Amino acid sequence: MAKFFKYKTTADLEAENARLNLDLRFSDDLSPLSQPVTVGTRTVGNRWCIHPMEGCDGNLDGTPGELTFRRYQRFGGGGAKLIWGEACAVNDEGRANPRQIALNPRTRDEFAKLVEQTRQAHRDSLGDDSDLLFGLQLTHSGRYSVKPIIATHDPLLDPRTVVNKATGQKVTADYPIITDDELKRLVDDYVATAKLAVEVGFDFLDVKQCHRYLLNELLGARNRPGPYGGSFENRTRLAREIFTALKAVVPSNVLLATRMNGFDSIPYHKGDNDDGQPDPWTAPLANGWGMSESDPFTPDLAEPIRWVQEMRTLGVDLVNVALGNPYAQPHFGRPFEYPPPDGYESPEHPLTGVDRHFKCAEAVQRANPGLAIVGTGYSYLQEFFPQAGAANVRDGRITFVGVGRASLAQPDWVKQLQDNGKMDRKRVCRTFSYCTALMREKNHPLGQYPTGCPPFDKEAYGEIWKEVLELKVKK
Ligand SMILES: Cc1cc2nc3c(=O)[nH]c(=O)nc-3n(C[C@H](O)[C@H](O)[C@H](O)COP(=O)(O)O)c2cc1C
Ligand code: SF4
């Protein structure tokens, strides 16, 4: 099994960076991370963002569950001033799993509690929450909904998209695509959910366009006929309609945001030596976002940058840049040391994946000076991610440092840095992928296991992890 991460100091990482010919930077001066910054009409107290991290621990009715409340209390008290709430479905059909949270009139009050408790935890721990922004990711899971809803036929993803878990049946050529009218009607679902999100006190609303969920699939739907496919204007149409509608109903103190893929790439599978290998493909590729029809391995950011520039004119003030598809090629989105169970060994040095994240986010930031851009890909750097974040903020490569898995392992890393000058080395994410493994485990009475960090949050996930391992042994 590959083991790449053997670095004891930033000097070791700098040497590796030179060897691999990357552009990773590190700075021991962490002060850029404590600088407040203006985002639209709001001020955010520091440059730390907790990425959206679904816990798959909601109740079947879409309300946040016990573990959801616990997670956000820990995030709230942790010290990051930008908390990017997780994927929340805008309607029932768009849920990715039966425990995905969903905001609607029936669940509204529990979401209000979630916001209040998160802010209270922040006040208890940090004193002031006036510079804390807590947002919500509005999502429709499209192809990855419990029953797949596809925006277009994708010759590479269709054969991997399971329609019926019992029979293993996959999407075939005669599987219907969501119609133009159905897409148009979704605008109302986004508006209704956004209104409730504003009512319960969220500070920003992310219209999710990443990880190949519905709106991301549309961005790349070159082969979809009609008004929502083909040209750039058509592929961005639904998101444009959603932002326009939201702008009309969302008050100016609540920001519009988006998490957008910079680059989709194509699916990988486990090949020789368990290493990831791209699925066989031929040019021109039927669809895809942030890549040319003839090269699915190199980001081509012309369209994503053009779209971000246009979204600014639609009122979007905050953009989080993501990559890839967590189901089809996890190494792009979440560079890892150990693969998730449905994955493969990293086909590249994971630092190359980190560097790709940093370069994509930098390109979007440089093309949009003054726009708040959140970067991704930091957890792989283990205890050295603060130094990388500080250098990236210092050099204007990024506005916010977004932290995903590492905030499950150590949600209070900002407090640790503030109070002790360093992170708690005993709770540093080692990118073991147990959290992704839990996410993939459906053999649970509610149809979905909750996820968190079993190695470093044993109190909540130790027993859950044991149970899943026992299930695997029985199988
Ligand atoms: C358990 C888990 C849940 C996640 N949930 C979401 C989510 O709800 N929305 C989203 O955009 N990304 C989600 N992600 C992706 C992360 O936000 C992040 O992009 C990814 O983990 C890479 O960042 P990292 O290297 O800091 O972990 C999730 C990742 C994990 C491991
Ligand atoms: S289970 Fe914990 S240590 Fe492993 S990748 Fe997830 S957050 Fe990191």
Please state the domain extents for the chain.
Answer: 10-474
The CB of 333 under 6 Å from ligand 1? The reply is yes
Q: How many CB atoms lie within 10 A of CB 274?
A: 12
Residue ID of nearest Cα to ligand 2 atom 3? 429
Name the residue of 48, 54, 440 whose CB sits within 8 Å of the most ligand 1 atoms, as the mutation to test its pocket: 54
- Please give the distance, rounded to the nearest whole angstrom, from the Cα atom of residue 51 to the centre of ligand 1: 6
Residue 222 CA to residue 229 CA, distance in Å, equals 6
Nearest to 239 by CA among 221, 264, 263: 221
Q: 472 in helix, strand or coil?
A: helix
Nearest to 327 by CA among 178, 447, 167, 161: 161
Ligand nearest to the CA of 379: 1
> Cβ(56)–Cβ(452) under 8 Å?
no
The CB of 451 under 6 Å from ligand 1? The reply is yes
CATH number of 10-474: 3.20.20.70
Residue ID of nearest Cα to ligand 1 atom 18? 404
Q: How many CB atoms lie within 10 A of CB 357?
A: 25
Per the listing, tokens 């053997």 go with 6
- Please give the distance, rounded to the nearest whole angstrom, from the Cα atom of residue 395 to the centre of ligand 2: 29
Helices 237-249 and 180-200: crossing angle, nearest 10°? 30
Q: Which residues are within 8 A (CB) of 264 and not within 5 positions of it... i.e. 6 or more apart?
A: 212, 216, 220, 288, 289, 290, 291, 296, 324, 325
DSSP 41: T
> Cβ(290)–Cβ(229) under 8 Å?
no
Q: Consecutive 10-residue runs of the chain (475 residues): their mean pLDDT?
A: 85 98 98 98 98 98 98 98 98 97 98 98 97 98 98 97 92 97 98 98 98 98 98 98 98 98 97 93 97 96 98 98 96 94 92 98 98 98 98 98 98 97 96 95 95 98 94 76
Integer angstrom CA distances of residue 233 from 55, 243, 293, 475: 35, 14, 18, 49
pLDDT value of residue 161 = 97
> Cβ(372)–Cβ(319) under 8 Å?
yes
DSSP 292: B
Residue ID of nearest Cα to ligand 1 atom 4? 53
